[in-house]
Amino acid sequence: MEFKFAKRMNYLKASDIREILKVSERPEMISFAGGLPAPELFPVEEIKEVSRIVLEEEGAKALQYATTEGYAPLRRWISNRMNTRLGTNFNYEDLLITHGSQQALDLSGKVFLDEEDVVLCESPTYLAAISALRAYGCEFVEVPTDNDGMIMEELERILENTSKVKIIYMIPDFQNPTGRSWSLERREQLVKAANKHQVMIIEDNPYGELRFEGRDLPSVKSFDQIGCVLCLGTFSKTFCPGYRIGWIAGDKRIIDKYVLVKQGTDLQCNTLAQMEIAKYLELYDIDEHIAKIREVYRRRRDLTVQTMGEEFPEGVTFTRPQGGLFAWVELPVGVNAREVLVESLKMNVAFVPGGSFFPNGGKENNFRINFSNMSEERIIKGIRLLGGILRQFV
């Protein structure tokens, strides 16, 4: 039988990263490819304890169907946390629990996007946001960026000249893939531009809590007076990704639409996972836990950046992120990072070529380095090997 798939299947492609990740799972591989948190920092003992308590106290409830909106105590904790850290003003009812923040992206496509609608994004942008939204048939227009976020003159020009723009997608802190953060001024300007053109902003902030230095900035949402900003968050980077628990928060009238759409999509998130995380947050000090993660990642960032400085040839530049999991490497024009990767994999070193982070393609002289998942020893060894390979190309 010849299978007749939906049109969208013609333009959805297997993610480069997933394919590289499969290779990079071999134990001998020094992998800068994934976006994996350091598993040795997962609070396994504490989770054993909260799992026991939740099942003992409310076993039947934890294993039963529950509301689509999510577990209320968890939503309360998250909205309080956001209000304290991000300068927002959410009630728990403004918030829907999602299957990781990746699902919040998928639901955003479902709620907002018709075919041929336009999404503006940073250039480069988070690869899996492209996959999530593209499934709804949208087009991407890439907004040029510098070290402070999108360049406002470029954004304004694009907004003036592009019809059907529905969403501006952005990551304010330690962006994936570049590691860069938006300046305070740009955050405020972004909201003004979105207001003027009546466009929604999706502010995706998975890494904000992982700041190694400098001061936290207020969220883009904190400048929003009309409900045009939606905030995405997740426990994947500050707690454990295996639970697949994230959220979306925004104007209640919009969140109601997300709830409706999530009902048909998968009914609700895992009840037990939500209750276990809520119990952990009640019994333990997550700030202490996050401080530990920050300290380990900061050292790994330091080593990565320092070793890149020592080992990478002239003409190769890279970011020095103030937090998060990623740094971004730019090669001289004409050098193709996919070709570098072929050589690098032979030496058991993996990274993700940057081309896939540009939804409209065409920029192959860059790659992403993840520094959260490898030991210090392997970081030094891997970056040195990579430096040697780069010298063959540059």
Kind plus residue range of the DSSP H or E element containing 200: strand 200-204
Which 121-160 residues touch a second copy, going by CB under 8 A? 128, 131-132, 134-136
296 to each of 38, 300, 370, how far by Cα in Å? Answer: 9, 6, 14
Measured CA to CA, the distance from residue 73 to residue 224 in angstroms comes to: 26
Measured CA to CA, the distance from residue 378 to residue 385 in angstroms comes to: 10
Measured CA to CA, the distance from residue 282 to residue 191 in angstroms comes to: 35
Which 278-337 residues touch a second copy, going by CB under 8 A? none
- At a CB cut-off of 8 Å and minimum separation 6, what does 6 contact? none
Measured CA to CA, the distance from residue 104 to residue 128 in angstroms comes to: 12
Cβ nearer to a second copy, comparing 274 with 322: 274
Backbone angles phi, psi at 112, to 5 degrees: -110, -30
Cβ nearer to a second copy, comparing 69 with 142: 69
From the list 88-96, 268-276, 290-298, 319-327, the region that binds a second copy by CB under 8 A is 268-276
Among 141, 170, 231, 273, which residue sits at the site for a second copy (rule: CB under 8 A)?
273
Cβ nearer to a second copy, comparing 268 with 344: 268
From the list 64-72, 177-185, 213-221, 312-320, the region that binds a second copy by CB under 8 A is 64-72
Size of site (CB under 8 A) for a second copy: 83
Residue 68 in contact with a second copy, rule: CB under 8 A = yes
From the list 11-19, 171-179, 278-286, 334-342, the region that binds a second copy by CB under 8 A is 11-19
Supply the minimum distance, in Å, between the C-beta of residue 183 and a second copy: 25
Among 27, 28, 60, 214, which residue sits at the site for a second copy (rule: CB under 8 A)?
60
Among 24, 37, 323, 328, which residue sits at the site for a second copy (rule: CB under 8 A)?
37
Cβ nearer to a second copy, comparing 253 with 346: 253
Supply the minimum distance, in Å, between the C-beta of residue 292 and a second copy: 15
**Residues 53 and 279 sit within 8 Å (Cβ to Cβ):** yes
Among 89, 263, 317, 360, which residue sits at the site for a second copy (rule: CB under 8 A)?
263
Supply the minimum distance, in Å, between the C-beta of residue 136 and a second copy: 7
Measured CA to CA, the distance from residue 245 to residue 249 in angstroms comes to: 14
Supply the minimum distance, in Å, between the C-beta of residue 141 and a second copy: 17
Question: Which two three-digit tokens encode residue 45?
Answer: 């003992």
Which 88-107 residues touch a second copy, going by CB under 8 A? 99-100, 102-103, 106
CA 72 to chain centroid, in Å, comes to 25
Torsion angle of alpha carbons 140, 204, 132, 370, nearest 10°?
Answer: 100
Residue with tokens 């809520």: 278
Residue 56 in contact with a second copy, rule: CB under 8 A = yes
75 to each of 67, 78, 81, 180, 390, how far by Cα in Å? Answer: 12, 5, 10, 29, 47
Measured CA to CA, the distance from residue 371 to residue 138 in angstroms comes to: 32
Backbone angles phi, psi at 271, to 5 degrees: -65, -50
Among 116, 146, 185, 266, which residue sits at the site for a second copy (rule: CB under 8 A)?
266
Cβ nearer to a second copy, comparing 100 with 149: 100
Mapped onto helix, strand or coil, the DSSP state of residue 218 is coil
Residue 176 in contact with a second copy, rule: CB under 8 A = no
Cβ nearer to a second copy, comparing 267 with 342: 267
**Nearest by Cα to 232 from 260, 262, 203:** 203
DSSP structural state of residue 355? G
Which 16-35 residues touch a second copy, going by CB under 8 A? 18, 34
Which 195-254 residues touch a second copy, going by CB under 8 A? 195, 198, 200, 226-228, 236, 240-244, 251, 253-254
Cβ nearer to a second copy, comparing 166 with 180: 166
Among 36, 290, 347, 394, which residue sits at the site for a second copy (rule: CB under 8 A)?
36
Supply the minimum distance, in Å, between the C-beta of residue 114 and a second copy: 5
Q: What is the DSSP string of 229-244?
A: EEEEEESTTTT-GGG-
